[in-house]
Chains A and B, each alone.
Chain A
Amino acid sequence: AQSVTQPDIHITVSEGASLELRCNYSYGATPYLFWYVQSPGQGLQLLLKYFSGDTLVQGIKGFEAEFKRSQSSFNLRKPSVHWSDAAEYFCAVGAQGGSEKLVFGKGTKLTVNP
């Protein structure tokens, strides 16, 4: 069965600093990969997705992620964090090669210090 690991439960960065959130997945074939963001008390918003092709994916709000098959990773990055980026971030993989069922990581909560 597929699984997603987000090793960092909580990350604190200063505003303006760079950010990298880690995501590792387990799936035998090429996975469908997603990053979602959730602000407190809100629903989930898609940041970016990877299905195939270019392994560096650009998303909304200045985020990008890189798919590395050899490392089974899909890490999320942002060069300069803004206070409004404080939220919880979830990595997800399409279960059994599809995207109608997602397997989520447990999330990484991001705190941004002024």
Chain B
Amino acid sequence: NAGVTQTPKFQVLKTGQSMTLQCAQDMNHEYMSWYRQDPGMGLRLIHYSVGAGITDQGEVPNGYNVSRSTTEDFPLRLLSAAPSQTSVYFCASTPNNPYEQYFGPGTRLTVT
């Protein structure tokens, strides 16, 4: 199993550009989530999904969209990038509740 994979590893965007951060897992986990990590802030939940076709907002959802058309994939879309979205983004999955979350390696995004 590859576990949780994220692409790209690094990305630089200009303000106003859009892009999609990819996340995939091959463990058949029902739950998936996106977090952003900023210095001194820990990780904060952006969006999460409890199954294909079901998504919900987390603590910091503004400026981000998600969809979950398959169990395996959970892409995060930035509609119009802003410098405040410069961060490291982590995707995670978990099979059920309660269970630990498995994290991907992260995507470092810089918006100029």
> Interface of A with B (CB < 8 Å)?
4, 9, 32, 34, 36, 42-46, 49, 51, 90, 92, 94-95, 98-107
Contacts and interface: CB of A to CB of B under 8 A. Distances in A.
Contacts of A104: 35, 42-44
Contacts of A34: 100-101
B45 interface: yes
Interface in B11-68: 31, 33, 35, 40-45, 48, 50, 58-59
Contacts of B104: 43
Interface of B: 31, 33, 35, 40-45, 48, 50, 58-59, 90, 92, 94, 97-101, 103-106
Contacts of B59: 103
18 contacts: A43-B103, A43-B105, A90-B42, A92-B43, A94-B98, A99-B94, A100-B31, A100-B33, A100-B101, A102-B35, A102-B43, A102-B92, A102-B101, A103-B59, A104-B44, A105-B42, A106-B40, A106-B41
Q: Among A34, A90, A101, A104, find the residue whose CB has the most chain B CB atoms closer than 10 A.
A: A101
A99 B99 contact: yes
Nearest to B102: A46
Given A100-B50, A100-B94, A95 B106 contact: no
B105 A99 contact: no
B105 A42 contact: yes
Contact of B90 (A9, A43, A94, A106): A43
Contacts of A36: 103
A105 B106 CA distance: 18
Given A32-B98, A43-B106, A51-B98, A101 B58 contact: yes
Contacts of A46: 100-101
Contact of A102 (B40, B41, B45, B106): B45
